[in-house]
Amino acid sequence: MGRGKKVGDGSETGRPPRDSSTSLKRRALLFLDSASGSRGARAAAYTLGILFFLIIVFVPPVFGILLGGSKIFEMLSHPDLMSRGGSAIAASFAIAVTVSLLDLAAGLPMAWFIVRSRSGWVSTIDTLANIPFIVPTVALGYSVLAFWSGPQGIGSLLGSQFVFSPGWQTIVLLHFAFSYPVIVRVMVGALQGYKEVYETAARTLGASPLTAVRTVSLPLLKPALVAAFLLAFARSLSETGATVMVAGAFENGPVFIRNARAAGEQSPLLFVSLVLIVTSSLFFIAIRILAPKMHLPISTVRPNLEKRLSSTPALMSRNLLVFLVFALFVIVPSLFVVLPGASAITDGTLQEAVASMGIWSKYWQSMGLSYLIALVATCVNVVAGLPMSILIARRRGGRVVSGVLDTLINIPIVVPSIALGVSIGIFWGGVAGISEFWLLVFAHASITYTYFVRSMIAAVESIPLEVEDVARTLGARPLMIFRRLTIPLSKYSLMAGAIMAFTRSIDETGATLAVAKNLTTAPVLMVDWVKGTVAASPHAIGLGLGILVLTSFVSLLVLTITTRRT
Amino acid sequence: MPDVRVAGVGKKYKDVDALSDVSLQIKDQEYISIIGPSGCGKSTLLKCIAGIIKQDSGQIFIGDREVTALPPEERQLGYMFQEIALFPHMSAWDNVGYGPRVRGKARELTRRFVGQVMEMTRLKIGARTYPDELSGGAKQKTALARAIAAEPQLMLLDEPLGALDAHVRAILRYELRRLVNELGLTAIHVTHDQEEAMSISDRLVIMKAGRVVEVGTPLELYLNPKRLFTANFLGEANFIPGNVENCDHGHVTASVNGWKIDSQGSGFTKGQRVVLVVRPESVVVAPKKQPDEQWTGTVRDRALLGDYVRTEVELGNGLHVTAHTTNRGVEPVSSVGERVRVDFAEGGLIAYQVPAHGLDVELALE
Amino acid sequence: MRAMPSIKLLNVTRTYGRIRAIDKVSLEIAEGEYVCVLGPTGAGKTTLLRLIAGLTTATSGAIELDGKDITDVPPENRNASYVPQQYALFPHMTVRDNVAFGPLARGFTPEESLQIAHEMLKLVRLSHRATAYPHELSGGMQQRVALARGLAGRSPLLLLDEPLGAIDARLRVILRYELKKLAKELGVTTLHVTHDQQEAMSIADRIVVLRDGAVQQFGRPSEIYQGPRSPFLASFVGGANFLEGVVVREARDATMIDVAEGFSISSSRDGHGMGDFVIASFRQEVTLILTNASLEENVVPGRLVSISILGAFLRCVVDLGRIGEVVAKVSLREALGQRLPDRVGDVVYVRVDRNRIMIFDRPERPLAVELEAF
């Protein structure tokens, strides 16, 4: 039997003999690598991940409210409060559902354009569609308020009958604007991963483009449509700071809670928070279960009508409408804050700001606090969230456990953040020695955890299992696979997830409003400025918000640069 | 059923010519295969004919209609995809009925029509079966039924058997041809598998690097290929470089590393470099009779490949030749290390000019 | 000098719920052997490979490598290199770093690992692409990188899952010999999974034929080809003609089978009794076509239905009336000599040598189902 030449020698298991010349760092790595080979070590890491999730992220926001005890139900004996609270909750859901459906209708064609069009405008439109992401929601709130309700906004363009006074209409307009990029991003991702061959097959069988999309592509994209809907819904239900700015006298859930807190009324605060937590969680789980069973209408066929609707003039007018909606209801309102901000540069407000005079000293303090909290919360989430991501993505705990965890991690973003904050406050309130700063960090960590973990899960799931299989058979222990394969291959999503969590934290108003007594973060301060709780000129507000937008923009720029280089 | 004409079609992707001035004429009811290595442009060409891709230049005619600017849904095609692409959210029956339905056929009529098509393609599938429950071969047959049910005038098949096991492919390809014949359709079939193409096509179109290399019937191209690439692509061949000693009346005497050999060929001058091509089935291996003859060598490898025995011989003058001998059940003549004589069947050797860009580039399969 | 492992599977079973992906498989593979695992999709070939690699655990049974029981040993300690169907090259690493990964994982220093990688790349003739990334390479080159990576890990055992699956038909024929040569040069024991029987026949020392998770036959290519143990094996490896019939006369070295109301053929095989229901089977290349009638035995008249060109062979379908249809593979030369392409539709005669007729028991399931014909 011809053995042939061999290229060296090795020990029984194929590993070379160790000698004393190996460096300390290498020995440490080798030790850790082989330690990760033990099932026990890995189980410990996953268990710690799950414990962190439960203790910090999940239990306090969802169950903490129950510690409020009997005080919660005092409100039941006040019928006028009950009706006010009831209408606020109903309003929250009504607005959230309406806005999400409107956003789907407006955002889906936009996503289609971005992915399928060959026009040179695509990358510009793609970047523009992200603007509401970049602009912090408080700035967005003020911008929308100024555009739709202010004297210099749409009124000056089209006449005063188009001006809306602050109320549910402005809430709808605000929520439409900030949920729009969510829909577009999710659908763009889904479309890019969608195999166009199905649509092509439908067309070779005689289906017009519209028929093919309606009967083949949309049904196949249903999971993405549902996910996009739920995300937009969650955002609308949860948002507090900007909603407070534009609500005027109207109340939805978060506004009601904020008013109750400001007035010092405990029971309405607790009760409505509890109801919101329960209903939003149930709604989310219900949609998750029912959605796969829902069928889009695909069996009816109207070939002639759909052929005419697929024609070039029909297509162009559709695109025109989509862009018009985009411009008028998303872009312009988002950027409107630039105007007062620009004036602030010329009239001396800027010098005051830089010199930290008057209201500005508190401003810089709150900015610093916001960034510090965001940094700490994000770091904590990255470290604790990594084992969880792998656990869920690779189903390490078994299919059932991973499935349950996969659903549970979404709950903190479905529950309105102010209700979440109330619950967290009560939970940790009993624990002595927790400073307000750490309370805020926990609240922010809880809210932003999901953003990071979901991003990592998607990244890990996209690494083909075979890559890990091969690495294992080549002798790599789990930690080495993690270091040399998983992390490098998911670097982009890791950074993206971390930045998303970071910016979400900067943005956060709801839970902060509920938890903080003495500390003030930047966006909360901005709400005070706008509502007049703290006196500030429109130019100061514009400048303050403008700086917030700028710093947010810089963080996102950092993301783009660092991830592009990899 | 119409004939198909492709005139001067070109397509560029970034700076690469996916298609370069491609022209073809396909007769009514002909079954044509377009073959070539991966990246030669055959799929791109098919997609241009289907209207799935828009070509940069040239025209396409189906029948007397110019379809160059028409979208795929108006070209009356049946298209089979390499990925099969059955709609996962519809049952197999609904898949097959999709074509008639989108053209406005009533539900009951469609159901009966689908039944007929299923019978014709010999598919036995329940009404509630979904694509993911079907085997590979059944999936492909369903895709075929779906294409047929759309009542096309032209069948376009893009590596239709690519996703299937080798032995299923070898059976299903004849089914494809039978059905296309029965329906009297014109068909264009793209594949990288030359045996598949040769076994069922009326004519073959050979492509390489975006251009048409040669067109002809399988027999013509196999026995008398005009290009060396065709000889290499359509089946195995031995390529023997040599120099012309004499050439007249269709015979060429060449010198190969000092040994002499006769082959077919004309138009060569003395001293010219040539490449002699001989198929392995025309190489005969026999035991060596006398010492130090020309065209003798040692057996380096021998394997029974089923219906034939493959023998690799290293000749005394440094060349390697491969011989295929039909397995008649008699023990093969040679075993590894044995000294043998190599003969060439009459008419088996053909002389070719050495291509300007070099033999290796010409023969390259990727 | 490290000894090469032999592989031993003892009654290995792997179930998924009620599905038996691998059903009581026992195998012994010697050091340095090149074994092909052949079978249709779903036969369990990949599962078998993954069981040996340790990526899947056996439900029952034992696996030994080099005499040691490794049934519960994780993959990273088995020293069996696995190359999956799509190669799974690490996309973010250069070719050289891909190949150096194995040695690195086994504890060699980075410098040593690079050195080993360079040697392997020279062996597969890809030194000039050492700094390229996987997506920049052609399919054939990616395959060679995957091989180099698998071999650089110093594993004495190589597990290849359809290594030529993504390669063009023509190129496959050339690359498979290179694959075998490389494995033999390095003396590695190789398990090569494929669904292509021609591929297996041309390079395997021995072939394991799997179907529905069970071993159908395990032997040298010539053994399986000349002595298949079932109609499925005769059909799957090499293809054959099948005629159903009844034994009407039997003697030593001769059996006569009635294949259609009074018409019989004779085979030199024995082992079946009078009245047995059997399947007579013979290969396509020994199914001879004669243009004139003959008085020899085993000559049947029929009509030449169609001819397909397979290159060196012509595939001729002959309709034998009540008996059925048979396929004959005639060499191109002979076919042209007999002017067969012009004779489509004419009456021809089919003859099979008695020594080439195999006899099988009639299977329980109908033959078409048994052969998984479409």
Percent of chain C with pLDDT over 90: 63
Taking an 8 Å cut-off on Cβ atoms, the answer to whether B329 and C138 are in contact is no
Q: Provide the pLDDT for residue B196.
A: 95
| Residues C162 and C38 both lie in one domain | yes
Q: Using CB atoms and an 8 Å cut-off, which of residues 22-41 of chain B contact chain C? A: 37-38
* Mean pLDDT of the C141-156 span: 90
CATH number for the domain spanning C89: value is 3.40.50.300
**SS in 3 state form for C183-232?**
HHHHCCEEEEEECCHHHHHHHCCEEEEEECCEEEEEECHHHHHHCCCCHH
Which of C181, C201, C231 is the last residue in one of the domains?
Answer: C231
Residues of B in contact with A204 (CB under 8 A): 50, 52, 72-73, 77-79, 147, 150, 156
Identify which of A30, A477, A488 has the shortest CB distance to residue C92: A488
Q: Provide the pLDDT for residue A7.
A: 35
CATH number for the domain spanning C280: value is 2.40.50.100
* Mean pLDDT of the A312-318 span: 85
Residue C2 falls inside a structural domain: no
Q: Is B281 helix (H, G, I), strand (E, B) or coil?
A: helix
Lowest mean pLDDT among A44-58, B285-299, C343-357: B285-299
For residue B182, pLDDT beyond 70: yes
Nearest residue in B to A219, CA atom = B89
- Position with higher pLDDT, A130 vs A210: A210
C286 part of contact set with chain B, CB < 8 Å: yes
**Strand pairing of B154-158 and B77-80?**
parallel
Q: What is the CATH number of domain B237-363?
A: 2.40.50.100
Task: Select the highest-mean-pLDDT range: A51-65, A320-334, A370-384, A392-406.
Answer: A370-384
C368 part of contact set with chain B, CB < 8 Å: no
Listed in sequence order, the DSSP H helices in A22-78 are: 24-36, 39-52, 59-63
Lowest mean pLDDT among A54-58, A544-548, B333-337, C228-232: B333-337
For residue A4, pLDDT beyond 70: no
Taking an 8 Å cut-off on Cβ atoms, the answer to whether C186 and A4 are in contact is yes
Which of C170, C196, C231 is the last residue in one of the domains?
Answer: C231
**Strand pairing of B16-26 and C299-309?**
unpaired
Taking an 8 Å cut-off on Cβ atoms, the answer to whether A10 and C31 are in contact is no
* Mean pLDDT of the C82-105 span: 94
Taking an 8 Å cut-off on Cβ atoms, the answer to whether A4 and C119 are in contact is no
What's the ipTM? 0.89
Residues of C in contact with B84 (CB under 8 A): none
Residues of A in contact with C76 (CB under 8 A): 37, 472-477
Model confidence band, residue A124 (pLDDT cutoffs 50, 70, 90): confident
pLDDT in tens, C212-265: 999 999 999 989 998 999 999 999 998 899 999 888 888 777 888 887 776 788
Cα separation, B235 vs C284, in Å, equals 20
Model confidence band, residue C5 (pLDDT cutoffs 50, 70, 90): low
Residues of B in contact with A292 (CB under 8 A): none
Extract the runs of DSSP E, i.e. beta strands, from chain B.
Answer: 4-13, 16-26, 31-35, 57-62, 65-66, 77-80, 154-158, 186-191, 203-208, 211-216, 238-248, 251-256, 259-264, 273-278, 283-287, 296-304, 308-315, 320-326, 339-344, 349-353
Residue A506 falls inside a structural domain: no
Nearest residue in A to B80, CA atom = A201
Taking an 8 Å cut-off on Cβ atoms, the answer to whether A216 and B77 are in contact is no
Query: What is the CATH architecture assignment of B4-232?
Result: 3-Layer(aba) Sandwich (3.40)
Min distance C3 CA to chain B CA atoms (Å) = 27
pLDDT in tens, A126-168: 878 877 777 888 888 888 888 888 777 777 777 777 788 888 8
Structure tokens at A196: 């166009």
Residues of C in contact with B167 (CB under 8 A): 40, 195, 197, 235-236, 239
Residues of B in contact with C169 (CB under 8 A): 192-196
Domain that holds residue C251: 240-370
Structure tokens at C303: 């009509």
| Residues C142 and C193 both lie in one domain | yes
**Radius of gyration of chain A measured on its C-alpha atoms:** 26
Residue A105, number of CB atoms within 10 A of its CB = 12
Listed in sequence order, the DSSP H helices in A462-537 are: 465-473, 478-481, 487-489, 491-507, 510-515, 522-531
For residue A556, pLDDT beyond 50: yes
| Residues C68 and C177 both lie in one domain | yes
Domain that holds residue A170: 79-301
| Residues C131 and C226 both lie in one domain | yes
pLDDT in tens, A523-541: 999 888 888 877 788 888 8
Identify which of C4, C32, C102 has the shortest CB distance to residue A474: C102
Min distance C36 CA to chain A CA atoms (Å) = 18
Q: A7, A473, A485: best mutation site toward chain C, by most C Cβ within 10 Å?
A: A473
Nearest residue in A to C102, CA atom = A474
Cα separation, C259 vs A390, in Å, equals 63
Taking an 8 Å cut-off on Cβ atoms, the answer to whether A472 and C186 are in contact is no
Amino acid in the structure at residue C78: R
Overall domain count for chain C? 2
Q: Using CB atoms and an 8 Å cut-off, which of residues 11-40 of chain A contact chain C? A: 12-16, 18, 22, 26, 30, 37
* Mean pLDDT of the C344-368 span: 91
Distance, first Cα to last Cα, chain B: 36
Taking an 8 Å cut-off on Cβ atoms, the answer to whether C88 and A474 are in contact is no
Beta carbon pairs, A and C, within 8 Å: 119
Task: Select the highest-mean-pLDDT range: A81-90, A289-298, B190-199.
Answer: B190-199
Identify which of A9, A22, A473 has the shortest CB distance to residue C2: A9
Q: Provide the pLDDT for residue A125.
A: 85
Identify which of C31, C81, C184 has the shortest CB distance to residue A474: C81
Domain ranges of chain B: 4-232, 237-363
A80 part of contact set with chain C, CB < 8 Å: no
Overall domain count for chain A? 1
- Look at residues B224, B204, B225 and name the one whose alpha carbon lies nearest to residue B215: B204
Residue A560, number of CB atoms within 10 A of its CB = 12
Q: Please list the residues that pair with B7 across neighbouring strands.
A: B59
Taking an 8 Å cut-off on Cβ atoms, the answer to whether A203 and B87 are in contact is no
| Residues C203 and C170 both lie in one domain | yes
Which of C231, C263, C293 is the last residue in one of the domains?
Answer: C231
User: What's A476's DSSP letter?
Assistant: -
Structure tokens at C158: 């190589």
Measured in degrees and rounded to the nearest 5, phi and psi for residue B264 equal: -85, 155
DSSP string across A376-431: HHHHHHHHHHHHHHHHHHTTTT-HHHHHHHHHHTTHHHHS-HHHHHHHHHHHHHTS
- Say whether B237-363 and B4-232 share the same fold: no
Q: B159, B206, B365: best mutation site toward chain C, by most C Cβ within 10 Å?
A: B365
Q: Using CB atoms and an 8 Å cut-off, which of residues 125-144 of chain C contact chain B? A: 138-140
- Look at residues A231, A96, A251, A234 and name the one whose alpha carbon lies nearest to residue A174: A96
DSSP string across A137-153: HHHHHHHHHHHHTSTTS
Identify which of B76, B81, B89 has the shortest CB distance to residue A201: B81
Q: C309, C310, C357: best mutation site toward chain B, by most B Cβ within 10 Å?
A: C309
Average pLDDT of chain A to the nearest whole number: 84
> Could you tell me the CA-to-CA distances from B187 to A131, B195, C123 in Å, in that order?
51, 17, 45
Residues of C in contact with A464 (CB under 8 A): 86, 88
B52 part of contact set with chain A, CB < 8 Å: yes
Model confidence band, residue C325 (pLDDT cutoffs 50, 70, 90): very high
| Residues C192 and C245 both lie in one domain | no
Q: Provide the pLDDT for residue C374.
A: 41
| Residues C167 and C259 both lie in one domain | no
Instruction: Give yes or no for a contact between C202 and B308, defined as CB atoms under 8 angstroms apart.
Output: no
Taking an 8 Å cut-off on Cβ atoms, the answer to whether A206 and B73 are in contact is yes
Residues of C in contact with B33 (CB under 8 A): none
Instruction: Give yes or no for a contact between A257 and A84, defined as CB atoms under 8 angstroms apart.
Output: no
Q: Using CB atoms and an 8 Å cut-off, which of residues 446-465 of chain A contact chain C? A: 464
Residues of C in contact with A10 (CB under 8 A): 2, 106, 154
Model confidence band, residue A12 (pLDDT cutoffs 50, 70, 90): very low
Torsion angle (degrees, nearest 10) of CA C160, C162, C168, C171? 40
Residues of B in contact with A301 (CB under 8 A): 101-102, 104
**Strand pairing of B273-278 and B238-248?**
antiparallel
Nearest residue in B to A216, CA atom = B87
pLDDT in tens, A250-267: 888 888 888 888 888 888
Taking an 8 Å cut-off on Cβ atoms, the answer to whether A198 and B52 are in contact is no
Structure tokens at A262: 């400001």
Conformational region of residue C207, where left means phi above 0, alpha means psi within -120 to 50, and beta covers everything else:
beta
For residue B54, pLDDT beyond 60: yes
Q: Provide the pLDDT for residue C1.
A: 43
Cα separation, C310 vs A563, in Å, equals 53
pLDDT in tens, C47-71: 999 999 999 999 999 999 988 899 9
Q: B73, B81, B96: best mutation site toward chain A, by most A Cβ within 10 Å?
A: B73
Residues of B in contact with A216 (CB under 8 A): 87, 89
CATH number for the domain spanning A116: value is 1.10.3720.10
C259 sits in which H/E element: strand C254-260
